[in-house]
Structures are given as C-alpha cells and as structure tokens.
Amino acid sequence: MDMETITSIKPLLATVTPLLCILLIILSRRIPNLRELWTIIASLVTFSIVASMVKTLYTGKVIAYKLVEVYPGIDVAFRVDAFGLFFALLSSFLWIVVSFYSIGYMRSLNEHSQTRYYAFFAVAISSALGVAFSSNLFTLYLFYEILTVCTYPLVTHNQDNEARSSGRIYLGYLLGTSVAFFLPAILFTYYFAGTLDFSLHGILNGKASNGMITFLFLLFLFGIGKAAIMPFNGWLPRAMVAPTPVSALLHAVAVVKAGVFCQLRVYFNIFGVELLHNQNLDIFLIYFVSITILLGSLFALKQDDIKAMLAYSTISQLSYIILAAGLYSYHGMLGGVVHIVMHGFGKITLFMCAGSILCGAHIKKISRLGGIGRRMPITMLAFFFGALSVAGIPPFGGFMSKWFLALGSIEAHQWPILVVLLTSTLMNLGYFMPVVFISFFGKDSESVKRDPDIREPSPFIVAPLAFTALVSLAIFFYPYPFIRLAEIFVKSMMGG
C-alpha cells in the first residue's frame, strides 16, 4: 500500500505473546492460580503491545514485519493498518475481560481440562491477532485455518455426544468451505494477479475477466465460512454447546469477527471497492446479505434457548458489517467497520449474561427466566444494556454504527437497505425485550421458584459483564479511538 511503512517487530510480538503464554500455562498446569495468572498477564501484555501501535497508526503510517518467505513472492508477513489494528484492539481488549470471566465461570461450574481450555484459548487469540495483522491473503488464510482448528477443542470442550456432533458440524462447515472455496479462490487470485499482497485498491483490477471476477467473488463470499452468511450459517448455533466464555469471545468476537474481517479485507484490499462497484457486485452483495440479516433475526425470534437466540442474532448482525463492503459510500463503510466494535461489546455482554444466568440459576431457556431479574439485577441490567446496544438504540454504541450504515445506504441510494435495517432493528427489539421484560416483570417461573439459591454468581463473572455493559454505553459518548482508526482506513481507501 502506498503509505509510509515502518518495520517493527510489534505485530509479531503481539501474535507470539499468547503462544508463549501457552508454554507457561502447560508448565504450571498443577497450580490453577498461577495458570490463570499467566493468562491474565499475557492478555494484558498483548493488549498493551497492540495499543502501543495505535499512536503510530494515527500518524498515518503502517507497520510491517516480514517473517519468512514460503514461496517466491509470498511471505508470511505482518502488516498493521488501521483496519487490522482496529480488529486487534477489540480482540485483545476483550481477551482481558473474558479471561477474568473465564476464571469465574470455569471455577463455578468446576469444569474439567481447564489447562487445555486456557491453552487453546490463547492459540485462538493469537491466530485472531494474526488474521488482523496479516499482510497478504496467504498469511490471512494461514491464521484463519489455525483459528478454525484450535477452536475445535474449545467448542467440543464438554466431550459429550452433543459436543461431538456439534464439533463435527463446526469443522465440517468451516474446513469444508475454506478448503473447497477459500483455498481455490486464493489460488485463482494468485494465478491471475500474480501476488497476494493486500493493496488499497485491490489487486484484481483488470487482471481477470468479468466472469472470473464474479466467480472469485462467489468463492470468497461462501469460502469464508466464519462470516456465517446464510447458506453456511449452520455451524454457529451448533457451536453454542461450548462453555459460555468460549461462545462469548470466540463466537461473538474472535471467530466470527475474524470471518467478517476477512470478508471485508478481501472486498476492500483484494477486489477493491471500485471493482466491486463497477461489476455491480456490490448490489448483489448487499441484497444477498440482507436476506441473512432478515432471516437471522427471524430465526432468532423463534428460539427459546438464550444462547441459540444470541447466535442467530449474531448471524444477522454480522451481515450488517458485510454491508460495509457493498455500500459504496463513505458512511456505509465506516458504519460497517465500526459495527465490528459496537456489536462486539454488545454481544459479549449478552453472552456473558447468558453464562452468568447459567452459573447463577442453571437456566438456559428464555421461557424459564420469569422473575430472574429480581434475583440477579446486575446481570439482567447488563443484559438490557447489551440488548439495546445490539439493537441500535441510543445512547448505546450500537446506535452509532447503525446510524452510519443508514447514512451510507442513503448516500448509495439504496433505499431498500434502509427498510431492511429498520425492520431488523424492530425484530432485534422483538426478541430481546421479552427477555428483559419477563425477567424483571414476569411471574417467577417454576425453576426460579424451586431454587432459592439463585443469586448473582461470583464477582469474577459479574464484574466483567457489568464492565462491558458500561463500555457499550460509554462508547457511544467516547468512540474516538475506534472511529478515528476506522476513518483513517476508510479515508485512505476512498481518498486514494
């Protein structure tokens, strides 16, 4: 990319720190406290490394680091631009939160194989950072695959039949799509473009025929299965068998966000928005994605399981982000990119609340939540905040991104999208508000009545979720660091 480049080892350090932490975790597997301390320390260190790069990025430079050449012309290389750092900041920050939460959650449920859990968690974060920092499609694919594989033990943590079949579906979808579509797409790209490096305006422009571009576009769209676009969304609800922190971080933040991040990367830096626009693929993309938005919300309405509902909500929300690539306008892109963060905070709050309910009340079904808000006020309040944020109600972070998206769709003259956004928001409220309502104002359900011990679980659980709920509120008022990064990125693309 045509920006000033600084060579720095920081991206590598950020990626490797979690991996080093694995070693420590395994070594100290007999002492749980030490083990968890290592996790927290690693998360803090990682975050600080990532955060330390923000300043450089504000000045409009990018950071690059080349690790090894795997193929003449293709390296495993890191390159931190605003978009990547944006995602990395989110992941590494939330890792801290979730680490605390995990401690509470795992201990209160007395889970088995915790060492393995923490170790793979760290690998997952590392590879998510790798995805964020990768400088070319190849590195991206590499970390993408590692992310897939290393989350498998997390998803199937319970090791029962349900986890097993879910694990199968999880891998089947993710590996299947990546091997069958993503990999050939990369290869075709390489074949036609001669390079895989991300470039601000895409590398495919003029390199391949129109039909080929469309074909490649479809391959990428379906190949990046982690984005859970509609025909390949089946894995996400099934992956909810995982322990809640896993669902929280990975399926609200790291994995699915990595998916949409990859999608956006590809559309922005491989195809280039102009190319998409010229080929009319952007129109196709937004309408295709709209289907997912609406259907996802619709399915979410039907769910009785909290986590399943959240999962469908995620499916729907992810497609908002992809809209960014389709809405050929400044605000549209900005909205999509910012939505990564806004949705991240909101959704992680919701998941942690679900976990908290599970720990405190052992309830998974929405229909049994009657009156629980009176017993667990903090949790349910946080849930309320999170729900509002995700639905895009001011004064919560989610509003911001939706607002930008709406602006973008107006700018791009795509009125139907506005309708879609509005409908979806209504549906969001439609599935979130009943939960909040019955938990605070509904009659006590059978299970709540029966169990007098229902109360807020340990502070390790409650504190993080309260924190993120507050963050999602605060971010509406102080979105500066994120918006700034997103603006840098979008401007560099639009302006260039």
Amino acid symbol at 93: F
As a whole number of angstroms, the distance between CA 170 and CA 483 comes to: 33
Q: Indicate which single residue of 188, 287, 288, 403 sits in contact with another protein (rule: CB under 8 A).
A: 188
Minimum separation from the CB atom of position 88 to another protein (A)? 20
Nearer to another protein, 116 or 374 (CB): 116
Q: Which residue has the tokens 């409009």?
A: 60
- Part of the chain binding another protein (CB under 8 A), chosen from 33-41, 71-79, 85-93, 201-209: 71-79
Q: Indicate which single residue of 68, 110, 452, 480 sits in contact with another protein (rule: CB under 8 A).
A: 68
Q: Indicate which single residue of 160, 304, 446, 451 sits in contact with another protein (rule: CB under 8 A).
A: 160
Nearer to another protein, 164 or 413 (CB): 164
- Part of the chain binding another protein (CB under 8 A), chosen from 63-71, 86-94, 357-365, 386-394: 63-71
Q: Indicate which single residue of 44, 180, 218, 410 sits in contact with another protein (rule: CB under 8 A).
A: 180
First-residue to last-residue Cα distance in the chain: 10
- Part of the chain binding another protein (CB under 8 A), chosen from 45-53, 174-182, 249-257, 360-368: 174-182
Q: Indicate which single residue of 56, 115, 158, 367 sits in contact with another protein (rule: CB under 8 A).
A: 158
Q: Does 9 bind another protein (CB under 8 A)?
A: no
In this structure, how many other beta carbons lie within 10 angstroms of the beta carbon of residue 142? 17
What element of type H or E holds 292?
helix 281-302
Minimum separation from the CB atom of position 324 to another protein (A)? 27
Nearer to another protein, 12 or 387 (CB): 12
The CA-atom distances, in angstroms, between 53 and each of 56, 67, 490 are: 5, 18, 18
Task: Return the structure tokens found at 56.
Answer: 């450089």
Q: Does 183 bind another protein (CB under 8 A)?
A: yes
Q: Does 149 bind another protein (CB under 8 A)?
A: yes
Q: Does 191 bind another protein (CB under 8 A)?
A: yes
As a whole number of angstroms, the distance between CA 397 and CA 340 comes to: 11
Q: Indicate which single residue of 76, 80, 124, 469 sits in contact with another protein (rule: CB under 8 A).
A: 76
Q: Which phi and psi angles does 67 have, rounded to 5°?
A: -90, -60
Nearer to another protein, 68 or 453 (CB): 68
Nearer to another protein, 112 or 365 (CB): 112
In this structure, how many other beta carbons lie within 10 angstroms of the beta carbon of residue 364? 16
Contact 293, 315 (CB under 8 A): no
- Part of the chain binding another protein (CB under 8 A), chosen from 14-22, 162-170, 275-283, 421-429: 162-170
Local structure of 149: helix, strand or coil: helix
- Give me the residues paired with residue 7 across strands: 64
Contact 353, 379 (CB under 8 A): yes
Q: Does 156 bind another protein (CB under 8 A)?
A: yes
Q: How many residues bind another protein (CB under 8 A)?
A: 38
The CA-atom distances, in angstroms, between 421 and each of 301, 333, 376, 392 are: 16, 15, 32, 10
Which residue, among 331, 351, 193, has the nearest Cα to 275 in the 3D structure?
Answer: 193
As a whole number of angstroms, the distance between CA 50 and CA 485 comes to: 13
Residue 119 DSSP class: H
Give contact residues for another protein (rule: CB under 8 A).
68-72, 74-76, 112, 138, 141-142, 145-146, 148-149, 152-153, 156, 158-161, 164, 167-168, 171-172, 175-176, 179-180, 183-184, 187-188, 190-191
